[in-house]
Amino acid sequence: MNLASETWNGRITGLADSHILGMTKTPFASAQIEVGLYGSYAANYGSIVLPEGNVILREGQIKIDSNNRLEGLTGNIKVGNGLVLGTVCFQDFLYSDDTLIELDTRKNGNALTGRLNIAFSPETADTAGLAKVLTKGALDNFNLNLTANGRLSDRGLSWRADIDTLSGSAFGLEFGQQILSSLDGNSESIRLAFDLGSRNLDYGVAEPLSRLRVNGTLSLDDAKTADFGFIGTADLEQTRDVLAGVFGGSRDDFLAGFTPIGVGIMDLRLRGPMDTMGLDGVLQIRGGRLQPGGDFPYGIENLNLDLICEGRHIALKNLQGRMARGKLSGFGDIVWNNSGVESYQVQTQLDNFQYNYKPEGFQLDGSLNSLFHSTSDGKGEIKGALKATNMLYASEISLGKIIQENLIGSVPNLQNIEFDDPIDAINLNLDVELTQPWIFDTNLIKIKGMPSEKFKILGTLANPGLLGSIEFAPGGRITNILPAGDIIVEKGSIDFFDSTLMNPVINIQGQIDISPFRVNLNVQGSMDSLNIAPSSTPTLKQDEVISLLLNPAIAPVLGNYSYNNSLTSTATANGLTGAASGLLVNLALLPIQEQIRRTMGLDRVSVALRARTLGSLETDVLIGKSLNLMGKTIPVTGNYTRTSEVTTMGGQMEWRFGNLVIQFGASGSRPAGIAPSGEIRHSWSFW
């Protein structure tokens, strides 16, 4: 080192890091260096003083944080003769035709001016891997090719960069600039202006789904204050995916599994320090859709919505759409933070909807006034009042399955969708007001009922359940169970005590007319433990009543010998014997009977073959159908009975006007002819 001429000549090798330069904050850089010292050790390069020489970097690495770092960097920097030249590349791309970073500057009077080229492409770097490292997983890939020209003087640094290539991918989306973009800045901030477009990689759509003009400023001070404007159109599904990625969530769980479809028109501004950044402006959605995930059938169609953003508060205004064939309207607000959505509440009105989903066969029409809001446990809740104009349960119930579950003590669960489904995180808390009776129209039960004042729909959107009591209207029928015919419901109720189980408690009082007897049945208990208590008028023993229900053909015998215990016992035994054979045949023919019933649109088809005392066979065929005439449900039954001696055919119709019951029928056989029959009955009930 010559102090008189301020020159040096020498060589330095070893490991160096950014701490040598006084850079103690992240990112932290280190490398093996080989320094050649020649020329002035304090040369004037415009507004700065630099030592002249040559620096070779090997095995360089930049530690961004504890989990992300760049490795395998090499470089060469030369300072001398008024020039500052440098190159940086990755060791694995050392012999590529392109260079990752290339610097070419020179002394120009009292300033240092020059050019910086950056070529971040698959020819110079592992772009996919480095994009994830540099953006901490926000980007899946990134490509950048720019040329920057700058000037460093006493007034500071000023520069401008023209961007030739800007593209990348994130969350399954590909984005890129639509026209050539530029950057400029100084020692204090960076100003940018991009025209970006994006498309979905899964569908390979050529035209960009989103087009945005991004412009603004990012400060380089410790606060890193930003002020960015976003003007243009944004694909809603892409926006959902980006927001889910930014806030570290899954796009399948974001928006409770619903997928937004359509385009939003935005004029937004993101501003403030990074930690407390706010969003101002408007996002308008016109004609969009909110498509449900899984097999849930109801989304929102023709969605119109204005999102008014102010800081970290978003107001939802002018919400309109169609859901489940109903008209949807509403308003609400959302509060967000750096982790995502902090809280939300949306007041909605859904008029004239038609729900037909779960449980299978359940139909619900009406209007819903509800509040959809966040809860303290991180879930959502739909709370409000449901005014139903129609509730119908019309389904095919397997009697065999019910018997099997009763024998093994199994209780059917209302769970229809797996509990990891996002919409299962939306709880239901709805008060039900029913303006018309709830109709049970199944192959086994045909009943109308009105719910109690505190009837509720609970559970979740994926697995709804019921809580409350329903009182049955007189005149309903329990059919396709007993060979003796339909049970006419005089009064009763069904109580849902647990909204998670389809195991209600039933209390039914009904009757069956088997001339000359009237059998009264009291059915009580839960679905998995039903108790049936029969009685009759005139009075019969319980085993006689059961025999009569299973084999109504013994009714004349029981009637004629009701005062002769021995003959009655014989008739009962014969009845049970015939019933046993009849039930076996009925079970064997059950699939065929069900097929005939469905094909012909009937409510009941029952065929029984019974062995008589003298070895002959008796054939019973019973069919039934409920007709709707002038707003009244009129049950119509027909029967056919054949023995070796006589063939009998008949039918019956029933009208109910409140507690007034009118029955009319006719039956006939050869050679006796046709005989009409009927009954007019009025009952009083204080139950």
> Beta strands 380-393 and 438-441: pairing type?
parallel
Residue with tokens 């698959």: 122
> What is d(CA 119, CA 147) in angstroms, rounded to the nearest whole number?
9
- pLDDT of 403 reads 57
> What is d(CA 608, CA 595) in angstroms, rounded to the nearest whole number?
16
CA dihedral 467, 469, 474, 475 (to 10 degrees): 20
> Angle at the Cα of 397 (from 622 to 528), degrees rounded to 5?
110
> What is d(CA 190, CA 3) in angstroms, rounded to the nearest whole number?
41
- pLDDT of 563 reads 43
- Phi first, then psi: what are they for 453, rounded to 5°? -65, -30
How many helices and strands, by DSSP H and E, does the chain display? 7, 41
> What is d(CA 48, CA 435) in angstroms, rounded to the nearest whole number?
86
- pLDDT of 418 reads 47
> Angle at the Cα of 57 (from 52 to 63), degrees rounded to 5?
120
Residues of the chain with pLDDT under 50: 201, 204, 410-419, 561-582, 685-687
> What is d(CA 510, CA 520) in angstroms, rounded to the nearest whole number?
6
> What is d(CA 119, CA 125) in angstroms, rounded to the nearest whole number?
9
Task: Confirm if 638 and 622 have CB atoms less than 8 A apart.
Answer: yes
> What is d(CA 259, CA 239) in angstroms, rounded to the nearest whole number?
10
> What is d(CA 573, CA 558) in angstroms, rounded to the nearest whole number?
11
- pLDDT of 366 reads 93
- pLDDT of 566 reads 46
Supply the DSSP string of 546-606, one letter for each residue.
HHHHH-GGGHHHHHHTTT-HHHHHHHHHHHHHHHHHHHHHHHHTHHHHHHHHHHHT-SEEE
- pLDDT of 249 reads 64
Residue 364's DSSP bridge partners are 355, 391
> What is d(CA 353, CA 365) in angstroms, rounded to the nearest whole number?
6
Model pTM score? 0.68
- pLDDT of 589 reads 60
- pLDDT of 687 reads 38
| Structure token digits, residue 372 | 């959809």
- pLDDT of 616 reads 64
- Report CA 619 to chain centroid distance, whole Å: 53
Distances (CA, A) of 684 to 58, 190, 487, 508, 680: 102, 88, 19, 16, 14
In 3D, which of 79, 96, 99 has the Cα closest to residue 88? 99
Task: Confirm if 194 and 166 have CB atoms less than 8 A apart.
Answer: yes
- pLDDT of 419 reads 44
Number of residues that this document lists for the chain = 687
